[in-house]
A and B are shown apart, each in its own frame.
Chain A
């Protein structure tokens, strides 16, 4: 992962004014905490040296870096419970971390706090083939879960592009999606139960054995809460049966607007493909250069569509989809004849991020979501904005659900380009809000998108978020400074807007 990678760690970012709660822990408290942690855990699980903590100083958004005070790697749920109790007792902030693939600096450590690395809780506890469910520890990798149930003809639907590395705990914390969310939903639609530990060290189970629980939907509230409300220690997920047939096709267009319209029209006709992805010219050429799968490099936009179901269903849909793509001006349509061809069509899409990494020293990945019908307009507007900043933007994204991933290309070694990239990124996010969308579809707010939160939400809404946070964590020890801006931050933001 190369996003903003070569940037300087001490770089002054617009965000750097974001408030990170300064811990009230005294030096004595910290010393006591370290002592107790060392008593509690194996020596290799408590890391204090700068050198050994270096790999943990950032997540996938490497421009935000911070060394923690202590890194702790628990091996059991009891460990997690004890660590949280101690942090609460000694008033030391705590940041949970999965695989660290997050793209919003959500897992960036706290300078005066504990970084809780969950990767050793990596057991698949139970698979129920009859009920099609699996119960796993939070450190299980997303792909490892699907691989474990493969022989049963089942799979876990949410498949982030980072699935080889990212953890189920991280997925729950971010409410992650993937290319198959269009039809099968996000993490929130595929998780049945979560066990979490509160900052006070209490174990709480959200969701039940059945489908719906009486009362407020705490499980949904918790999913996507970015490590601000509790630490996930166990997750029960729904598994889906593999479709008997999967068919991939690709359509090329000479304009992004036409491709965007084709997407809206297809969905409007009642076809929900398993996946529907779009790439623009820059992304197509970069991907083709990299993986050479025969993408039409002259095209301005490419749609990759996956249909699944029984043979009959797929045939029925394939006819409608091809017709719709043609009607909207596809210059060519390629229907994969076999699994190898299907894989090749996907390969370019899946390699698009690293491919873009080859044509630019750095890139910065955005995550706004917009109404499907606005795709053409927004992509055109993004190119205009990019031009005005003198930067290039490549687009490769989940078109079917309007979730954009503009990749801003820049060179951090050129003075001022990182700031320009950040400003362009901010403009793109506010553009998404302006057309009725949101600043983040699946990557989360973390530290990164804090400046746009007061743009999307009014003060009363932000205050409601803060009261909710306090209901779980009254002293704001869990992942402080992320996700939800403080009152002071909002006041400063508003006075800048009106000043």
Chain B
């Protein structure tokens, strides 16, 4: 546990002066995401520690290298939780990397993504200047929202040194129900249930080993969950089994990608019909996220459509994210330049041109 801010600042200042490409790394659990890039590793994994946690404020501030698992354990002691349910990746994922990679779990449609809980952060830009944006209070509109801008930037706009996150009370009860049905039937069902004000925190349809199941997770107050369970019916899953399922889903291991395979992720409107994304084998986020596992040799010839991302596997030197419009591309490049004029921080991680 320690504060390495000064050291990190100096490393980036040096890289800025010498125009050396850096590769920001902490738990190194997200190397398989984004494009492969080269660069000298700048290690954030030892920059750890909870800086403040006052349960009555429902806010925690921690250094970027602090592990998600550590935060989950700490928060569980006071019956609180990280609202966006980030994957812990065998205990190695850190909060800084989670924010940079914008990783939120199965409860995303109901409890929001990282940005919805992120209140503030510390950032070292490509000049090597340490800065603070946002804060620890619930509402803050002073200045541009540099804090939320970092979600998904994969470190390309700066090295995140610390984050403040809004918390939520832990659930009193969790129940997982399963329903045997086709993918299209599941899409219709998820749509219907989403609009009923039920305590749903996960809806996923998975086709595996000849089975085609809709998983529905209910979480909340005891009476709310019990009532919803009676209302929905279905088979209830044992807690240990259910837990293993949602964890595997969250960590991306449910589909067990082999080396010769590419895992594609589609993001779009939850009411898009099933055939909108051919060969879907898993539907998450009540239909808003769909996954396709294919042999890498089965390459998609066209340029990537905007809503499709080559999540894992395949060629990681080409583009892995969908194309953006020409004006938006130019805008993103100017923003990158505004933070990192020599493009030394995680350059090319999201797009080859950034």
Is the beta-carbon distance between A215 and B321 smaller than 8 angstroms?
Answer: yes
**With contacts A225-B144, A265-B56 known, is A202 near B327, CB below 8 A?**
yes
Q: Provide the residues of chain A in CB contact with B104, threshold 8 Å.
A: 212
* Residues in chain B near residue A439, CB distance under 8 A: 142
> Do the beta carbons of A468 and B144 come within 8 Å of each other?
yes
Set of chain A residues within 8 Å of B144, measured between Cβ atoms: 221, 224-225, 228-229, 465, 468-469, 484
- Interface flags for B157-175 (1: CB within 8 Å of A; 0: not) read 1000000000011100000
Residues of A within 8 A of B112 (CB): 185, 189
Partner of A371, one of B137, B168, B194: B137
Interface residues of B in 315-348 (CB under 8 A from A): 321-322, 324-325, 327-328, 331-332, 334-335, 337-339
Q: Which residue of chain B is the closest to A174 with respect to CB atoms?
A: B141
Nearest CB of chain A from residue B100's CB, rounded to whole Å: 10
| Closest Cβ–Cβ distance, residue A40 to chain B (whole Å) | 22
Are the CB atoms of B137 and A441 closer together than 8 Å?
yes
Instruction: Name the CB-closest residue of A to B102.
Output: A212
Whether A471 lies near B338 (C-beta < 8 A) is yes
> A268 contacts the other chain (Cβ, under 8 Å)?
yes
Q: How far apart sit A460 and B270, CA to CA, in the bound complex (Å)? A: 42
Given the complex of chains A and B, what is the CA–CA distance between A404 and B112 in angstroms?
Answer: 25
B351's partner among A174, A215, A310, A461 (CB-CB below 8 A) is A215
Q: Contacting A218 at CB < 8 Å: which of B55, B138, B332?
A: B332
A271 and B169 contacting across the interface, CB-CB below 8 Å: yes
Contact assessment for B142 and A449 in the assembled complex, using a CB-CB cutoff below 8 Å: yes
- Given known contacts A210-B289, A212-B152, A216-B335, A175 and B137 CB-to-CB distance under 8 angstroms: no
Determine the chain B residues whose CB is within 8 A of the CB of A402 once the complex forms: 137-139
- Give the distance to chain A from B67, nearest Cβ to Cβ, in Å: 23
Q: Check: A15 CB closer than 8 A to any chain B CB.
A: no
Min CB distance B113 to A, Å, is 6
- Select which of A214, A220, A225, A403 is within 8 A of B139 by beta carbon: A403
Segment of B38-46, B128-136, B234-242, B252-260 in the binding face? B128-136
Contact (Cβ within 8 A) A461 B132: yes
With CB as the reference atom, state the residue of chain B lying closest to A243.
B197
Is A217's CB under 8 angstroms from B151's CB?
A: yes
Of the listed stretches A125-133, A139-147, A284-292, chain B binds A125-133
Q: Which A residues are in CB contact (< 8 Å) with B109?
A: 211
Q: By the criterion CB–CB under 8 Å, are B137 and A369 in contact? A: yes
Question: Which residue of the partner chain, among A128, A214, A456, contacts B142 with CB atoms under 8 Å?
Answer: A456
Residue of A nearest to B287 (CB): A131
The answer to whether the Cβ of A267 comes within 8 Å of any Cβ in the partner chain is yes
Are B113 and A465 neighbours in the complex by a CB distance under 8 Å? no
Q: Name the B residues within 8 Å of A221 (CB-CB).
A: 144-146, 148-149
Q: When the two chains form their complex, are residues A204 and B325 in contact, meaning their CB atoms are under 8 A apart?
A: yes
Most buried by B among A225, A265, A371: A371
Contact check, B350 vs A215: say whether CB atoms are below 8 A apart: yes
Chain A residue nearest to B130 (CB atoms) is: A460
| Docked complex Cα distance between A182 and B227 (Å) | 25
Partner among B102, B139, B142, B269 whose Cβ is within 8 Å of the Cβ of A217: B102
B306 touches A (CB below 8 Å): yes
Query: Given the complex of chains A and B, what is the CA–CA distance between A465 and B196 in angstroms?
Result: 42
| Inter-subunit contact A209/B268 (CB<8 Å) | yes
- The reply to whether B58 and A242 form a contact with Cβ atoms under 8 Å apart is no
Contact residues of A between 167 and 226, Cβ < 8 Å to B? 174-175, 177, 181-182, 185-186, 188-189, 198, 202-206, 208-218, 220-221, 223-225
In the complex, are the beta carbons of B224 and A312 less than 8 A apart? Answer: yes
Q: Are A445 and B113 in contact (CB under 8 A)?
A: no
Residues of B within 8 A of A55 (CB): none
Is B219 interfacial (CB-CB < 8 Å)?
Answer: no
Also in contact, A403 and B138, with CB within 8 A (given A128-B271, A312-B227, A464-B338): yes
CA gap between A153 and B194 in the complex, in Å: 13
CA of A402 to CA of B136, assembled, Å: 11
What CA separation (Å) do A186 and B145 show in the bound complex?
A: 13
Cβ-based interface call for A100 (8 A): no
Specify the chain B residue showing the minimal Cβ separation from A466. Answer: B338
Chain A 437-469 per-residue mask, 1 if CB under 8 angstroms from chain B, else 0: 111111111000100010011101110110111
Task: Contact check, B113 vs A313: say whether CB atoms are below 8 A apart.
Answer: no
- Pick from B80, B143, B227, B307 the residue with the most CB of A within 10 Å: B143
Contacts of A217 in B (CB 8 A): 102, 115, 148-153
**Complex: how many Å from CA A169 to CA B157?**
28
Q: How far is the CA of A132 from the CA of B195 in the complex (A)?
A: 8
Task: State whether B168 touches A272 (Cβ < 8 A).
Answer: yes
Partner of B141, one of A153, A205, A441: A441
List residues of chain A with CB within 8 A of the CB of B59: 371
Complex Cα spacing A210 to B139, Å: 25
B269 adjacent to A440 (CB under 8 Å): no
- Residues from chain A with Cβ under 8 Å of B113 in the complex: 211-212
Q: Across the interface, do B149 and A218 meet the contact criterion of CB distance under 8 Å? A: yes
Task: Give the complex CA separation of A461 and B334 in angstroms.
Answer: 17
Bound CA span A313–B108, Å? 22
**Beta-carbon contact of B152 and A215 below 8 Å:** yes
Q: Judge whether A373 and B221 touch: CB under 8 Å.
A: no
Interface membership of chain B positions 169-190, coded 1 if the CB is closer than 8 angstroms to chain A and 0 otherwise: 1100000000000000000000
Which residues from chain B contact A94 at a C-beta distance below 8 Å? none
* A182 shortest CB reach to chain B, Å: 8
Q: Is the CB of B285 within 8 A of A216?
A: no
Collect the chain B residues with CB atoms within 8 Å of residue A462's CB: 143
Quick one: CB contact mask for A106-127 with B, threshold 8 Å, 1 for yes? 0000000000000000000000
List the interface of chain B (C-beta within 8 A of A). 54-59, 79-80, 102, 104, 108-109, 112-113, 115-116, 125, 129-133, 135-146, 148-154, 156-157, 168-170, 191, 194-197, 199, 220-224, 226-227, 266-271, 285, 288-289, 306-307, 309, 321-322, 324-325, 327-328, 331-332, 334-335, 337-339, 350-351, 354
A-B contact pairs, 26 of them (CB 8 A): A130-B195, A131-B269, A132-B194, A153-B195, A154-B195, A175-B145, A189-B116, A211-B285, A212-B267, A216-B151, A216-B156, A216-B335, A220-B149, A221-B146, A229-B144, A312-B226, A315-B223, A369-B139, A437-B137, A438-B137, A444-B141, A465-B146, A468-B338, A470-B334, A471-B331, A472-B331
Closest 9 CB pairs of A and B: A270-B169, A210-B267, A268-B56, A312-B223, A220-B148, A401-B138, A441-B139, A467-B338, A471-B334
